[in-house]
Structure 1
């Protein structure tokens, strides 16, 4: 009985490398303000991560406007300007083809804030500081 090989546990080095190259290039494009969209003018956008699919045909960019406000409008503007963004990425990078870009809000910072609030809670701190019940006295 032959088994099919199990999928790798995470992204390949190639996926990571392409994702990081796109992230840097996208960050530069957004910082330079080369996109002529009123929704994007004067807005600082953080590109936290870009994840490339295994076949490198799709890439999801996780973005967050500075301060976290106006998220949906920024997301809509990025999606509207996707062809221009892909064109600028293609000019800046030496890839055979630029992946189809998808934009999502980066929820990482929200999760970090929630974890900080949880650990700041008095009941949680008390439980963390208490010795284990099965520890010898």
Structure 2
């Protein structure tokens, strides 16, 4: 049995999901309030779509996207540059035994939704669905 799966092999545990959501909310609040001492980061509006945690809760991967989708690489660099302070800020808002290491990746959910929408608009796909 894999350590990062629930007993039925169906994905992250309830604990991972709960802690991930708590971290997402705290991180979103820190970024929205501009609590980080980096004016470049504070100038950006960043959406935190999801946070996934490792099974031991020591690593949290935040899926982020700048508002409007522009400056994605800049956002990742700024977040990486400030990850120690972000980790402290998030930890101060949560009552966790360990402050997780924060990692950042671009949230590609919206791109996948657009691709799926375009696929469903194709004539051949619509014919198959309607039959």
Q: Normalising to structure 1: TM-score of the pair? A: 0.86
Per the alignment, residue 73 of structure 1 pairs with 74
Preserved contact between residue 39 and residue 73 of structure 1 (Cα < 8 Å): no
**Alignment coverage as a number of residue pairs:** 126
- Contact 2:53 / 2:59 at 8 angstroms: preserved in 1? yes
Q: What whole-Å deviation, never above 9, does each CA across 1:71-93 have from its counterpart, x for those lacking one? A: 00001100100010011111111
Structure with the bigger percentage of helix: 2
Structure 2: how far apart are the matches of 1:43 and 1:73? Answer: 10
Which residue pairs with 2:110 in the alignment? 109
Q: Distance in 2 between matches of 1:126 and 1:39?
A: 49
CA contact (8 A) 2:87 2:99 kept: yes
Unpaired segments of 5 or more residues in structure 1?
A: 132-137
Residue segments in structure 2 that go unaligned for 5+ positions in a row: none
Aligned-partner Cα distance in 1 for 2:118–2:70: 20
Distance 1:100 1:93 in 2: 14
Cα distance per residue 1:45-97 (max 9 Å; x no partner): 11111001001111100001111110000011001000100111111111111
Secondary structure of 1:40's match? helix
Partner of residue 85, structure 2: 84
User: Considering only aligned residues, what root-mean-square deviation do their CA atoms show, in Å?
Assistant: 1.3
For the 8 Å contact 2:31–2:42, the answer to whether it is kept is no
